[in-house]
Amino acid sequence: MAGSPTTTHCPYCSLQCGMTLTPREQGAGTVLEVTGARFPTNRGGLCEKGRSAAELLGHPDRLTTPLVRDVRDEPFRAATWDEALRRIADGLTVAQERHGPDAAGLFGGGGMTNEKAYQAGKFVRVALRSASVDYNGRFCMSSAAAAATKAFGVDRGMPFPLSDIARADTVLLVGSNPADVMPPAMRWFAAGRERGATHLVVDPRHTATAAAADVHLQPVPGTDLALANGLLHLAVKHRLVDTAYVAGRTTGWPAVKRALRQYWPDRVERITGVPVAVMERAVRLLAESRATMILSGRGAEQHAKGSDTALAWINLALALGLPGRPYSGWATMTGQGNGQGGREHGQKADQLPGYRMLADPAARAHVAGVWGVDPDELPQPGVSAYEMLDGLGTDGGVRALLVMASNVAVSAPRAAHVRERLRSLDFLAVSDLFLSETAELADVVLPTTQWAEEDGTMTNLEGRVLRRRRVTDAPEGVRSDLAVLADLARRLGRGEPFDDDPRAVFDELRRASAGGKADYAGITWERIEAEQGVFWPCRSEDDAGTPRLFRDAFPTPDGRARFHVVHHRDAAETPDDEYPYRLTTGRSRAHYQSGTQTRRTKALLDAEPEPAVDIHPDLAARLGVAEGGDLELRTRRARARMRARLTTTIRPDTVFAPFHWSGEQTINDLTNPALDPASRMPEFKVCAVALEAARTADPPSLRSPEREDPSG
Ligand code: SF4
């Protein structure tokens, strides 16, 4: 027998596919059957992650009671909520009494609802009066966000609806592989190709997306910036620049044009490995079509020069006159489920709700007014995510940390070092669905609600605000993070301004964001239901919202977009005699982020039970590694071991490994934490690596003591 269906959204990526959950009796219980809903982004499509998401709701590993331990490394014991919350409040308070207000902090996640992200930032600033808050979205979107803010005056990943892709005549994807990571989005690309559109992909790997494209540019990892400058050099040389657009809608072009002289085609071919003839063809396709899009992804952005790389592609888009034109422009494809909303409402160290900046006196006054506190009480900006993790347990660093919806023990760069820093804390509390690798290190673990058990809002990759709906009750003993933060605030003596009702928190968020760049003032839950989501900015309930930005002006003081001079430089680590190859990392089709959820989903584990390193057959032959053989990867930070997958889709000087796995397969133990100076994005996407066929007699643990990290 079936119960009534409820429509909500997938818990995973930023496409936030609409899905319908229908209760069905199965054996002695009830399960939720998942089907795709006719939502504007996915039109009924779901990938295997979405289709299997309901498996997690009743998963036997699910945490259903708070866990505490009195001594580190001893087993956890079950505790009451009162004891667990008291211990967290005490841990945070003691750290602040001993080491000052910033010694207590919170690390959040890009999968949290808008309400939770908002409440997390407010909790740290108001209840803890601490500067120590940041989140894992810093490892995802911060380079694109920094670049878009500099160039356009605002960061909304896609300034147009996803469906516009189907209307573009030429689309260039840079470091983005939607065919694997968000398959339902491919319908818009396919529709464009059916209309005759031309698609180009820039990626060191011949991914499924590249295979479906007309042109594949396969640069050396870490050279996208030089490639963008090289294409723009050719656009100038062939008089393909839209001079009327540049004169009327931008500033800063003359300096960029001068700087481009250094990017003559032969030099760019030497840096990137992309043949001049391919660059010539690409720039003509981009410049000579009626509607052209440049879409960026983490492959271009997760570098120590990621924000400059994004700016280089934006320069190309501006020179060709794309942003603001119909079915044209530059956009970035956000990754995490609420990667867009999660970066708008104050869980970043330097931000207040609505994309206001914490250092701006007017912004402080507005938000403090909504929160009912004195603006002078609000702390100044704190440090970014990796800097916070790197400083845990040190003088001046955080001593007591609450982690929500993030598994930094696996997902942070130089993850083995981060685990050491977590162990050095005076106190660690983690709120999660499962006993993640981070939760295993904690003093207190809180069991939290998940997607289909809670109401709230999410903001998808288009800037469309959506409703997450409660479909089923959470297991007894589980609480939402909103309730946790409100209870902790009360125990810390600052409970009055905190609500735990998601609708009340959203209404407060609307007031706090009013007048900001990400203005949600006019968005109500009723409107979201009636209109299939509302695009921000939406400044009043009479405002229809803004599906397309930049048509008439950019939100900068003079209404113009800005060019920026940006130059290529080498990756923070380049191959040498000791580490002669390049390692790049990313997502695989069946898994998601640190794998906390997808490694517990049978259908996904069946599809991909273990990770594999993509390696070119020529390189594998030189190393003596056969298909399926064990490969040891070694960087200046650590070692890992994975099965080899021989494929010609990867360059012979580069290997690719997914980052969803733990233990000996924690690829982020190997990645380089060198940071982008503007966005503080770590260099996940390229580092120097040594490769060796693994000997079966090796000891179980290959971990080596940390070496001095040259990146600092
Ligand atoms: Fe979920 Fe993303 Fe797959 Fe859609 S594409 S079903 S949002 S994981």
Ligand 1 atom closest to the Cα of residue 19 is 6
pLDDT in the model for residue 331: 96
Q: Is the pLDDT of residue 363 over 90?
A: yes
CATH of residue 384: 3.40.50.740
Ligand 1 center to residue 589 CA distance, Å?
10
Using a 6 Å cutoff on CB, does residue 37 contact ligand 1?
A: no
Q: Are residues 53 and 79 in the same domain?
A: no
Instruction: Tell me: do 36 and 81 sit in the same domain.
Output: no
Query: Residue 680 maps to which CATH number?
Result: 2.40.40.20
Is there a single domain that holds both residue 289 and residue 170?
yes
Q: Same structural domain for residues 92 and 182?
A: no
Query: Is 680 inside a domain boundary?
Result: yes
Give the CA count within 13 Å in the CB-facing half-sphere of 638: 23
Does the beta carbon of 18 sit less than 6 angstroms from any atom of ligand 1? Answer: no
Q: For 52-69, what is each residue's pLDDT tens digit?
A: 999 888 888 999 999 999
Q: Whose CA is nearest to atom 4 of ligand 1?
A: 17
Tell me: do 648 and 670 sit in the same domain: yes
Condensed to tens digits (0 to 9), the pLDDT of residues 655-693 reads 999 877 777 788 888 888 888 888 787 888 889 999 999
Q: 384-422: per-residue pLDDT in tens? A: 898 999 999 999 999 999 999 999 998 887 888 999 999
Residues 26 and 118 in one domain: no
d(CA 174, CA 287): 16
Closest approach atom of ligand 1 to CA 182: 5
Tell me which of 9-18, 449-458, 587-596, 700-709 is least confident: 700-709
Residue 50 CA, ligand 1 centroid: distance in Å:
5
Residue 61 neighbours by CB distance under 10 Å: 10
pLDDT tens column, 306-354? 999 999 999 999 999 999 999 999 999 877 789 888 889 989 999 999 9
The CA distances from residue 669 to 409, 412, 541, 559, 659, in Å, are 9, 8, 48, 44, 10
Kindly report, residue by residue over 210-253, the tens digit of the pLDDT: 999 999 999 998 899 999 999 999 999 999 999 999 999 999 99
Residue with the nearest Cα to atom 2 of ligand 1?
A: 13
How far apart are alpha carbons 627 and 646 in whole angstroms?
Answer: 6
Residues 53 and 191 in one domain: no
Number of domains observed in the structure of the chain: 4
Task: Indicate whether residue 50 lines ligand 1 (CB < 6 A).
Answer: yes
Which of 317, 332, 347 delimits the end of a domain? 332
122 pLDDT above the threshold of 90: yes
Same domain, 268 and 239: yes
Is residue 322 domain-resident?
yes
Mean pLDDT for 554-563 is 97
Q: Which amino acid is at 82?
A: D
**283-288-292 Cα angle (round to 5):** 80
Q: Residue 30 C-alpha to ligand 1 middle, in angstroms?
A: 24
User: Is residue 304 a part of any domain in this protein?
Assistant: yes
Best residue among 39, 55, 162, 182 to mutate for probing ligand 1's pocket (most ligand atoms within 8 Å of CB) is 182
Q: Which atom of ligand 1 is nearest to the CA of 10?
A: 1
Say whether both 226 and 313 belong to one domain.
Answer: yes
**Within a domain: residue 17?**
yes
Query: Which atom of ligand 1 lies nearest, measured to the CA of 50?
Result: 6
Tell me if 13 CB under 6 Å of ligand 1.
Answer: yes
Cβ 445 under 6 angstroms from ligand 1: no
Compute the distance from residue 7 Cα to the ligand 1 centre, in Å. 15
Query: Looking at the predicted structure, is the pLDDT value of residue 700 above 60?
Result: no
Q: How does residue 594 score in pLDDT terms, banded at 50, 70 and 90?
A: low
Higher pLDDT, 651 or 66: 66
Q: Which atom of ligand 1 is nearest to the CA of 47?
A: 3
Whether 47 and 90 map to the same domain: the answer is no
pLDDT more than 90, % of the chain: 77
> Taking Cα atoms as reference points, which of 56, 59, 181 lies closest to residue 452?
56
Q: The domain containing residue 33 runs over which residues?
A: 6-58
Q: Are 387 and 302 in a shared domain?
A: no
Tell me, yes or no, whether 386 lies in a domain: yes
Ligand 1 atom 5 nearest Cα: 182
pLDDT at 682: 81
Expressed in angstroms and rounded, the spacing between residue 36 Cα and the centre of ligand 1 is 10
How far, in Å, from the CA of 660 to the mean position of ligand 1? 16
Cβ of 184 below 6 Å from ligand 1: yes
pLDDT digit string (tens) for 494-536? 978 899 999 999 999 999 999 999 999 999 999 999 999 999 9
131 Cα–ligand 1 center, Å: 34
Looking at the structure, tell me whether residues 681 and 637 fall in a common domain. yes
* Mean pLDDT rounded to a whole number for the chain: 92
Atom of ligand 1 nearest to the CA of 53: 1
Q: For the segment 274-306, what is each residue's pLDDT rounded down to a tens digit?
A: 999 999 999 999 999 999 999 998 888 888 889
Residue 166 Cβ inside 6 Å of ligand 1? The answer reads no
Measured from the CA of 46, which atom of ligand 1 is nearest? 6
Confidence (pLDDT) at 696: 62
Within a domain: 220: yes
Angle between helices 306-319 and 142-152 (to 10 degrees): 40
Q: What is the 3-state secondary structure (H, E, C) of 589-658?
A: CCCCCCCCCHHHCHHHHHHCCCCEEEECHHHHHHHCCCCCCEEEEECCCCEEEEEEEECCCECCCEEEEE
CA of 288 to the centre of ligand 1 (A): 34
Tokens representing 183? 């398959």
CATH number where 251 lies: 3.40.228.10
